[in-house]
Amino acid sequence: MSSKAVRTGAHFMSGDEACAEGGMAAGCSFFAGYPITPATEVAERMSIRLPQVGGVYIQMEDEIASMAAIIGASCAGAKAMTSTSGPGFSLMMENIGLAAMLEVPCVVVNIQRGGPSTGLPTLVGQQDVMQCRWGSHGDYEVIALSPDSPQEAFELTIEAFNLSEKYRTPVVLLSDEVVGHMTEKVIIPDSKKIKTVSRKLPKKKPENFIPYAHEEDDVPPMAIAGEGYHVHATGLTHDELGYPAINADAQERLVQRLIRKIRNHVEEIIRTEDAFLDDAEIILVSYGCSARAAREVVETARADGMKIGMIRLITVWPFCERKISELAALERVKKFVVCEINAGQIAYEVERCAGGKAETILAGFMGGRIFTPEELYRVVREAAE
Amino acid sequence: MKIRFIDAEAPPASRIFENLAAGHGDHPLDRYLKKGRIPHIWCSGCGNGILLAAFVKAMEKGNFDTKKTVVVSGIGCIGRAAGYLDLDTYHTTHGRAIPFATGLKLANPKLNVVVISGDGDLFAIGGNHFIHAARRNVDITVICSNNFNYGMTGGQGGPTTPLESKTTTTPYGCSEHPFNLVYLAKASGAVYVARWTALHTHELRDSIIHSVNKPGFCFVEAITPCPTAHGRRNKLGDGLSMMKSYRDNSVLTTELDPEETAIGLKGKIAVGEFVDIDKPTFMDMYDECAICRANAPKKSKKS
Ligand SMILES: Cc1ncc(C[n+]2csc(CCOP(=O)(O)OP(=O)(O)O)c2C)c(N)n1
Ligand code: SF4
């Protein structure tokens, strides 16, 4: 069934538009953002779509405000989202940490362009991967998903909402200009077939409710503003009641739990697309638009008789540590070639997890366009020699 | 990597609930405060407690629906106010209370959303958010505790520090022109603007009630003594002397053009209600312009 929120059917749309439709299908009812290439189309589509379902679209005065507004909206019970690119992502960092600390579900879309600074507003980069992981100060875990097509932009935006609601944490849809601006067929399924997740709500009465009590899965139920729970949420280190507690004990209990609630569930969260890992000696690692070129290289190299395999990170963060170290430990696996449009970000993770048992080679590209399969193939062939 | 966090020998979590209710309820207005949160962090003689009391009295007299009233603060001494109130309260990031409050209000228009924060928080780092929320006429109330400096970080100069005023970062006297908040709020589009000092507790209370009940962006400035930092460095005496100077220097006026209401280091302080107008809120206009049109039945081409 098609509904106002879910536009069931086959469409021809850009990755950015698909991302907005994914948000709608996930139940997003609040969007705050600020125009920036190449992410503007997400906001534009939301400005058309949200009023149709009685939701709120607001263009804020900057990305700091946008991030603050979606956290506020989520505290009032809405599924909320923003979209941006590099410069705006930098501005969002402090409040992404606030969302992590207050444990407020929300989705941040970053359609990456080339940097640093204003860089390449209209052209691709994948240079915000480490910023996405470590950009806000302090210790926290993030979840980031990276689509390689408009279809996947649709699907992963829904997944981003589901994970953020499940783990009460900000989730980043780490896309890029190529995927954001390419137009392809996008199939939106029947609304009944779309799985959506909503945050746990308190079952206890307000007088017995402890807002940050340690639950089994480390994710406490979230009290929504206006329901009578009278919760206090603060970005200061807080105790289980949510009251400020500026001491080492409270810090330990809180921060360890924040870390644990993601780390203990990495196996459920992490998704990759694997090909030919059964006999591969060289493994290409990529994500987002880079994976499109990598896939072609794998096909060509296989046809040329090369024992090559491929891992595409669908979940960029948390990183698939176990998979890389297990593969690296195999005698036959000689090299990982990490292709990404930056001067080396995920390559460091791969090298770390390979632990010296297999060599890591960065096929890095500075951005402005996607490298061609031929260009990447040259690096792969060199690696094979 | 093998990870082994060093576990501090932490007391059990249950310890934090011990004695939470001790003393709570001794004062009739305690019912508006969260259990276990008093004593507050403020210095003796600080005006923030008076402002908090004015807010609590507004809750009582104005019969605020405590289920639907939400308070958001930024960071600073007064930023701690949110955490004392027995409401849904959010202590956010420095300067960002207003956009956070905007999200809360727009996602659930039934909430009464109040921002309580400092002059540095709202008008330096958060200044842009203030003018834009006022321009949009988001239906929230913003209460500013203006103590003319950054109390929390030890008394630095800020956007309201009067010319010639001494702070830790203006040791020779402030050479920057300050904002006149009343004038700024009016020019930005606020539908209600009032200024009182910590001495005007009844007026503050009534302005807060009026603001919370009035649709649109309302602004209440409370001049508060910060004897520890601003008062001491400018030889303004203790909290009580500063309150006495408010008594001697406040001029109640509704006649003055907001432009004429700037505050100096010493001298007169114009207090009163300076703006009280009606205009459609952000949500009124959004409903009319976006929601209604997006859902209007499509006109057929023939007719
Ligand atoms: C981004 C950021 N910058 C700086 C600070 C440090 N800081 C904390 S409170 C504060 C000033 C608060 O002053 P004001 O808003 O006037 O409130 P008061 O403490 O006087 O009540 C500053 C600069 C911070 N917390 N965050
Ligand atoms: S430093 Fe100033 S503003 Fe802060 S609590 Fe003390 S007196 Fe109040």
Q: List the CATH code of the domain at A3-193.
A: 3.40.50.970
B100 lines ligand 1 (CB under 6 A): no
Domain-located, residue B33: no
> Mean pLDDT throughout B251-268?
91
DSSP state of A260: H
Residue B6's alpha-carbon distances to A237, A252, A255, A256, in angstroms, are 18, 9, 13, 10
Report how far ligand 2's centroid is from the alpha carbon of B230 (Å): 9
Domain-located, residue B209: yes
C-alpha dihedral sign at A15, A21, A27, A33: positive
Domain-located, residue B300: no
Q: How far apart are CA A176 and CA A288, in angstroms?
A: 7
Indicate the pLDDT class of residue B300, thresholds 50, 70 and 90: low
Q: Which residue, by CA, sits nearest to atom 4 of ligand 2? A: B151
Q: How far apart are CA B162 and CA A143, in angstroms?
A: 47
pLDDT 10s digit of each residue in chain A, 385 long? 789 999 999 999 999 999 999 999 999 999 999 999 999 999 999 999 999 999 999 999 999 999 999 999 999 999 999 999 999 999 999 999 999 999 999 999 999 999 999 999 999 999 999 999 999 999 999 999 999 999 999 999 999 999 999 999 999 999 999 999 999 999 999 999 999 999 999 999 999 999 999 888 899 999 999 999 999 999 999 999 999 999 999 999 999 999 999 999 999 999 999 999 999 999 999 999 999 999 999 999 999 999 999 999 999 999 999 999 999 999 999 999 999 999 999 999 999 999 999 999 999 999 999 999 999 999 999 999 8
Number of domains in chain B: 1
Cis peptide before B11 (omega within 30 of 0): no
Q: From A131, A42, A38, A135, select the one nearest A82 (Cα to Cα).
A: A42
Ranges of each domain in chain A: 3-193, 273-384
pLDDT of residue B303: 43
Indicate the pLDDT class of residue B273, thresholds 50, 70 and 90: very high
Specify the 3-state DSSP secondary structure of A111: strand
- Nearest ligand (C-alpha, residue B43): 2
Residue B220: domain span: 42-292
Q: How far apart are CA A147 and CA A164, in angstroms?
A: 17
Domain-located, residue B216: yes
Q: Which of B153, B179, B232 to mutate to test the pocket of ligand 1 (most atoms within 8 A of CB)?
A: B153
* Domain A273-384 in the same topology as domain A3-193: yes
CATH number at residue B133: 3.40.50.970
> Mean pLDDT throughout B88-113?
98
Q: Is residue B254 predicted with pLDDT exceeding 90?
A: no
**B27 versus B141: which is more confidently predicted?**
B141
pLDDT tens column, B146-174 = 999 999 999 999 999 999 999 999 999 99
Q: How far apart are CA B141 and CA B138, in angstroms?
A: 9
Q: Is residue B201 predicted with pLDDT exceeding 60?
A: yes
Q: Is residue B7 predicted with pLDDT exceeding 90?
A: no
B137 lines ligand 1 (CB under 6 A): no
**Cβ <8 Å between B107 and A230:** no
**A148 versus B10: which is more confidently predicted?**
A148
What is the distance in angstroms between the Cα of A131 and the nearest Cα belonging to chain B? 20
pLDDT tens column, B80-92 = 999 999 999 999 9
DSSP state of A53: T
| End-to-end CA separation in angstroms for chain B | 72
Residue B171's contacts (CB-CB under 8 Å, 6 or more residues apart) are none
DSSP run (H or E) holding A164: helix A150-167
> Mean pLDDT throughout B264-276?
95
CATH for A273-384 (3.40.50.720, 1.10.3720.10, 3.40.710.10, 3.40.50.920): 3.40.50.920
Indicate the pLDDT class of residue B301, thresholds 50, 70 and 90: low
